[in-house]
Amino acid sequence: MRDINLFSVYSRRKHSSLLRILASVLVIAAIVVVIGGAYFALYFHHRKIQNETAQIDAYLRSDEVLGTVAAVDQYSRERTTLEKYEAIAEAVLENLKAGDLINSARLEQISAALPADVVLNSISVSDNNVNFVFFSPDVSVTAQLVYSLSNIDFFDSVSLSGVQAAAPQTVQEPEEGEEPESPGYTVGISAILKGGEGE
């Protein structure tokens, strides 16, 4: 006859539950090892980055780098100053070129064209535009002044900018029967040199 073991079912269950527990423990241990390994890898990587950062910071604070940065700052300030001086020099050169448009020979022609008692107070040149300020004791010579300047060959056009009574100065009181002296007039005239805007 055959031997029947009625408890074999229970012994197999015990064996499979031990395998399950062992597998669960192994999986949990593997997870702990992976997490621990990842943590330590990240920790050491973080420490390495901190050390490299400290080395870079120490290098950036070294005398060599600070000296180089100071030299670059000094160079930058000098360059900015030189650029300002260059702009000023270019403006001066432009003014000198503009000043060459009215030279001494042309000033002599302008002076020769002035009516009597008219004085040239100032002259400014911008591109081919010339602005004059004259002093005239009498307003009636203004038209003659504009006409005389327009007859000069190097002016393309001449126009009256304005006439204004000069600021009164301390003038002696007129005696009885005399008329008071006029303080005079400031006359502004604009002219365009030939080859300028008019052509």
**Structural domain for 140, as ranges:** 104-169+181-193
Contact 126, 97 (CB under 8 A): no
Does some domain include residue 26?
Answer: no
Does some domain include residue 94?
Answer: no
- Residue pLDDT tens, the chain, 199 long: 566 665 555 555 566 778 888 999 999 999 999 999 999 999 999 999 999 999 999 999 999 999 999 999 999 999 999 999 898 888 878 766 665 667 778 888 888 888 888 888 888 887 788 899 999 888 888 888 888 888 888 888 999 988 888 776 545 555 666 655 667 889 999 999 887 544 3
Total number of domains constituting the chain: 1
Contact 184, 120 (CB under 8 A): no
We report the CATH number of the domain holding residue 158 as: 3.30.1360.100
Does some domain include residue 58?
Answer: no
What is the per-residue pLDDT for 199?
39
Does some domain include residue 68?
Answer: no
Does some domain include residue 157?
Answer: yes
What is the per-residue pLDDT for 140?
85
What is the per-residue pLDDT for 82?
92
Does some domain include residue 111?
Answer: yes
Burial class (CB in 10 A: 0-12, 13-18, 19+), 46: exposed
Does some domain include residue 47?
Answer: no
What is the per-residue pLDDT for 182?
65
What is the per-residue pLDDT for 181?
61
Q: Please list, in sequence order, all residues whose beta carbon lies within 8 angstroms of the beta carbon of residue 121, skipping any fewer than 6 positions away.
A: 133, 134, 135, 186
What is the per-residue pLDDT for 198?
41
Does some domain include residue 116?
Answer: yes
Joined tokens for residue 89? 């020099």
